[in-house]
């Protein structure tokens, strides 16, 4: 009986510590500001896939001329993807369809992009999309920016 209670106590303690670390990591990412919730689907087909598969929920952060994208459900201190402003080409935008609506945050708008020849999709709120497109267009003079 004592062993069972000890094991249960250790399991509960590990779950609490794990959740605390998730929260602490997110606070550290958001500490410098310029963050927004952003789901990402990397290396998608040209026509898109409304099945909802391949989406990863994350937090993106502006850092100079790039966006750092962090997975929410990860302990990694470094961003999973780096998107340079000069390498992003916006191909279009659309609303979530079919099962995507279940995989993404409500009212998410999907932005189809190319980054160094790789097709990707970013899903974010209307406000975050406005800020992202403004950030893209605010490139220094002489830098090529392609926004559809």
Q: What is the mean pLDDT of each run of 10 residues along the chain (148 residues)?
A: 87 88 74 87 74 86 92 85 93 88 88 93 95 89 63
Q: What is the pLDDT of residue 146?
A: 61
Q: What is the pLDDT of residue 24?
A: 75
Q: What is the pLDDT of residue 49?
A: 63
Q: What is the pLDDT of residue 142?
A: 65
d(CA 31, CA 56): 22
β pairing state of 88-95 and 81-84:
unpaired
């Amino acid at each position: 009986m004592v062993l069972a209670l000890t094991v249960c106590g250790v399991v509960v303690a590990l779950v609490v510590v794990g959740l605390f670390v998730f929260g602490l990591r997110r606070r550290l990412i958001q500490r410098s500001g310029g963050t927004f919730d952003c789901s990402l689907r990397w290396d998608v087909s040209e026509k898109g896939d409304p099945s909802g598969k391949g989406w990863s929920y994350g937090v993106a952060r502006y850092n100079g001329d790039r966006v750092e994208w962090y997975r929410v459900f990860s302990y990694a201190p470094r961003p999973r993807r780096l998107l340079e402003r000069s390498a992003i080409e916006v191909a279009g935008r659309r609303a979530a369809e079919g099962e995507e609506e279940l995989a993404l945050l409500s009212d998410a708008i999907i932005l189809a992009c190319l980054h160094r020849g790789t097709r990707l999709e970013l899903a974010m709120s209307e406000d975050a999309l406005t800020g992202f497109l403004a950030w893209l267009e605010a490139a220094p003079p002489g830098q090529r920016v392609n926004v559809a």
